[in-house]
Amino acid sequence: MAFINENTNNSAVCSVDQYDMLNVNVTADQLIDLVDVLKNKQGFIYLTDICAAHYPEKVGAEFEVIYHLHNLIENQRVRLKVALAESDINIPTLTVHFVGANWMERETFDFYGVNFVGHPDLRRILNMDDMDYHPLRKQYALEDETRTDKNDTFFGR
């Protein structure tokens, strides 16, 4: 499943295999060129998903933006991971290569606050427009903070 080991390009790109899926860790600068090669030369023409993860314990690389690409003809998938620090949470937008990245990046921005540089319309997509925080970051609780009627004894607290 992971025979695409010709890491086709240039510089320091490390790749790790987990569950037979190729994971490639890149930096934000290398991302666009790597996706260019993967899409135009290697046939990864389908962007499955863009999401993010928040690791507050990894100081300096708290946010990880994850791209899943799929080669439909050879049935190969690859995962690209870009680590971003909380202080500089900017990453170039993938809308130059995939039109579908538009809404996926808006969702990632909505929930994690990742700033996609060059995105045509970066605003919230699933949450309310007047929400002032990014809910899936680890410091925010899942529960609705505005409830007044929760009796703690029933909730086992």
Q: Which residues bind another protein (CB under 8 A)?
A: 126-128, 135, 140-147
Nearest-approach distance from CB 126 to another protein, in angstroms? 7
Nearest-approach distance from CB 150 to another protein, in angstroms? 8
Taking the C-alpha atoms of residue 148 and residue 85, their distance in angstroms, rounded to an integer, is: 36
Coil, strand or helix at 34: helix
Nearest residue (CB) to another protein, 20 versus 132:
132
Is there a contact between 115 and 89 (Cβ–Cβ < 8 Å)? Answer: yes
Nearest residue (CB) to another protein, 87 versus 151:
151
Nearest-approach distance from CB 144 to another protein, in angstroms? 6
CA dihedral for 45, 116, 105, 61, sign (positive or negative): positive
Taking the C-alpha atoms of residue 64 and residue 112, their distance in angstroms, rounded to an integer, is: 10
> Can you say how many angstroms the Cα of residue 14 is from the centroid of all Cα atoms in its chain?
18
Nearest residue (CB) to another protein, 6 versus 144:
144
Nearest residue (CB) to another protein, 87 versus 148:
148
Nearest-approach distance from CB 140 to another protein, in angstroms? 7
